[in-house]
Structure 1
Amino acid sequence: MHLKVLMLKQDDPRKCSAAKLVKFGLAKPVTRTTSRTLILNPFSKKTLLESDKKLVRSITGIDCSWNLAISAFQKPFTGISRK
């Protein structure tokens, strides 16, 4: 399973954990999400399930500032949203 990061570039890139994952080749940066990805969303009503593994090909984290997280996660993302 692939790890992807949607970078919204709202915080300091020198302190950004997601940017470090990309820098060291542990995650791939993306500009949009796909339907076969699991979106890590702290505001989702559903939790991660074992059965989700059959539905998705990748996991995508949304990198944003915690100060702007509520507005960032109100945008619709393609994929399966879980916390």
Structure 2
Amino acid sequence: MIPLIAYRDNTCAPRKCTVKRLERFGMIRIVPSFKQVPRGTLLLDPTAGVVISPADRRWVRSITALDCSWEVLEREEMARFRGRRALPFLVAANPVNFGKPFVLSSVEALAAALIILGEKGQAEEILAKVPFGIRFLEVNAEPLADYAAAGDSAGVLAAQAEYL
């Protein structure tokens, strides 16, 4: 089990928030300040220059999702994280962004990262807590399997090229 963390700035509706739902089930720790995000975490950052790969599993101590407005990505604080990783091409199954590529909810992003890192069971556990979780796995079954089978970031990018 990989510990899950979310930086949340309270910009989304709490009733729709997948991170808040995971917190209610004790599956994630929410931190209200960016300074509380551990330095050694794998930070899911859509602007990162490196894509997540199974090779990252050897150093990952936790995974952190950014459950906040996109303005936080402009902060210089982001630069202190060496473990910033972007997710490869995946399609959202959440009701707000259904069918849109690269626009995942926090729970979808965390689950995708877990699957790519070889923690499919944990990914299924967190996805079971949201109504669209199983659908996310169905819609993205092939790319997730290909990304999880890749050896490194170059392999993930090669697999991604088949879906773009």
- Bin of the TM-score, shorter chain as denominator length: 0.7 to 0.9
Mind listing any 5+ residue stretches in structure 2 that lack a counterpart?
Answer: 87-164
1:40 to 18, 23, 44: 44
Runs of 4+ in 1 over 2 A off after TM superposition: 76-79
CA RMSD of aligned residues (A): 1.5
Structure 2 SS opposite 1:15: coil
Pick the structure with more strand per residue.
Answer: 1
Q: CA deviation at 1:19?
A: 0.9
The normalised TM-score by structure 2 is: 0.44
> Counterparts of 2:65 and 2:47 in 1: how far apart (Å)?
13
Q: Which structure has the higher relative contact order (CA within 8 Å, separation 6+)?
A: 1
- The gaps in structure 1 that reach 5 residues or longer are none
Q: Identity over aligned residues, as a percent?
A: 28
Greater gyration radius: 2
Q: How does 1:4-83 map to 2 (within 5 A)?
A: 4-30=5-31, 31=33, 32-64=36-68, 68-69=69-70, 71-75=71-75, 76-77=77-78, 78-79=80-81, 80-83=83-86
What TM-score does the superposition give when structure 1 sets the normalisation length?
Answer: 0.82
What SS does the corresponding residue of 2:21 show, helix, strand or coil?
Answer: helix
